Homo-oligomer: A and B are copies of this chain.
């Protein structure tokens, strides 16, 4: 059995965040010691690693709840749902990359200015120039 601090060290999830996940229903309320401190088993540890990884992949806690539920309903044909969630997320991620790349190009341009005075500098003008807006609006 692991204390919450041990769990935190092993999963890389901060202590208050572990408690927060419990509150949000992502993990069950664990057993307690005689002095009312949380004691976790290996299953919960694995579950938290899953959560940590999925969070790094950018899934929302709601998505993760779904994914966990699916993985629990062993054998049920939720396969498609899992792929749907992952696929939707992949699309969102690709869109984000595209947007960030355009952003990078613009930032590179405006931050490479070498003029000596602010009035010569493109940064502020660029930020003001509506015609240079990235994205759709």
Contacts and interface: CB of A to CB of B under 8 A. Distances in A.
Interface in A90-122: 90, 93-94, 96-97, 100-101, 103-104, 106-108, 110-111, 113, 115-119, 121
A79 to B, nearest CB: 5
A91 to B, nearest CB: 9
Contacts of A56: 103, 133-135
A118 B78 contact: yes
Interface residues of A, number: 56
Interface of A: 12, 46, 49-50, 52-54, 56-58, 67, 70-71, 74-79, 82-83, 86-87, 89-90, 93-94, 96-97, 100-101, 103-104, 106-108, 110-111, 113, 115-119, 121, 123-124, 127-130, 132-135, 137
A43 to B, nearest CB: 12
